[in-house]
Amino acid sequence: MRWAIVGLVAAGCGNHDCVALTDGDWDAAGDAFGMEMSGVLTMDEGSCRFTLDDWSMEMLSLPAGGKVDGDQVTFEGDSFWRSCTGTVAADGASVSGSCQDGDDVSLTFSGT
């Protein structure tokens, strides 16, 4: 019986509901970034997670990606970025939000 329950829980892990972000080049702006820059976003729709890399500038702290739950984004990275949340536009081409310290965050799809 125990294995049947574990199997049912594991089977439910792939059933996520999220607005998928568009893969490709994205522009980043807002106080949280300190200046405008760009990076590459890759979305895994099955897990509702995304990665951000290939940033146009090297900084000590940049988000590594995040998770989307419905249209709500939680960023991943160091403790600063984990305090940042936002909302995805219905078309999956922009995210706007803020961090715990009040800094704003803006990501916009700029092309492939």
Q: Identify whether 43 is part of a domain.
A: yes
Confirm whether 41 is domain-assigned: yes
* Number of structural domains the chain divides into: 1
pLDDT at 16: 65
Domain membership of residue 68 (yes or no) is: yes
> Which domain covers residue 78, as residue numbers?
15-111
pLDDT at position 111 is: 85
Q: Kindly give the confidence (pLDDT) of every residue in the chain, 112 residues in length, as a single tens digit, with 9 standing for 90 and above.
A: 333 333 333 333 445 699 999 999 999 999 999 999 999 999 999 999 999 999 999 888 999 999 999 999 999 999 999 999 999 999 999 999 999 999 999 999 998 6
CA distance 42 to 25: 9
CA-based nearest residue to 69, from 14, 19, 7:
19
Instruction: Give the whole-angstrom CA distance, residue 76 versus residue 53.
Output: 12
Return the pLDDT at 112. Answer: 65
